[in-house]
Amino acid sequence: MKPLIALAFALTVAAAAHAQEMKKDIPYASPAAERQVLDIYAPKDAKNLPVVFWIHGGGWQTGDKSSVQEKPKAFVDRGFVFVSTNYRLLPNVPMETIIRDVAKSLGWVHKHIAEHGGDPKRIFVMGHSAGAQLAALVCIDDRYLKAEGVPFSALKGCVPVDGDTYDIPAIIETAETRRRVHHQPQAKFGHREKFGNDPKKHTDFSAVTHVAGDKGIPPFLILFVADHPDNNAQAQRLGAVLKEAEIPVRVFGATETNHNRINARLGTADDPSSAALFEFVAAALK
């Protein structure tokens, strides 16, 4: 790239970043509980831009919409509106309420994001860890979004990042067997308890349960830490079920990283997961 062109490009990117606008703590329910709020990041004078809907992690017990690191800037600089949502948490509410909060938040976005420069027909749903399970489930089990008036046709893609609960019975069996054979005490509030301590609920809250080729499920990019055996197995499991249903899917394992770092670096330069993410998004928008 010639020096003057490179300088112009850098100034353009800097100007775009400087022009980012943020609207904080917008309620998505009426009346809204304290955590039923979301933040919107958008370029100045945004209009009809694709939307990223981000779901934070934290084991369904902690976490906050403000923990987005470089993601808003990375997407706003590329001409997106970025939304980060909160939801109520365990143990204050059961898992089903958490899922319905996420769906309600996405329903609000579908209805109102045009007022903030976004295109309600071009939404990408993404999330990390617990947020990965929530993202995958609402993009596969259509009951939740149907209840909020959001058609799957509005979803351009889903990107769950390093989740371990796409097949909940499998992770429960894996974790409890590991503790048992090593003579370790079982978790007092592990996945079994978090997802309702009922085998029927464990199956129902698993994204793999609801995959079908005729539902309009959007394309998936499943990001995971390659050397973490549980998350690797869960990513491959979800990818295989989607592939069998002929739903476009890419499963990408990141090396030389960990559960927190894959999230923190998402959207940064020279990050392989970010490169896969932006390649996926660009292809989905063609």
* DSSP one-letter string for 63-128: --TT--TTHHHHHHHTT-EEEEE----TTTS-HHHHHHHHHHHHHHHHHHGGGGTEEEEEEEEEEE
CB 144 within 8 A of CB 134: no
| Contact criterion met (CB below 8 Å) for 162 and 229 | no
Q: Hunting for tokens 């009922």 — which residue is that?
A: 198
Burial (CB < 10 A; 0-12, 13-18, 19+), residue 86, is buried
DSSP 169-229: HHHHHHHHHHHHHTT-PPPTTSHHHHTTS-HHHHHHT-GGGG--TTS-PPPEEEEEETT-H
Q: Are 39 and 22 in contact (CB under 8 A)?
A: yes
Catalytic residues: 129
Smallest Cα–Cα separation from 134: which of 111, 103, 168?
103
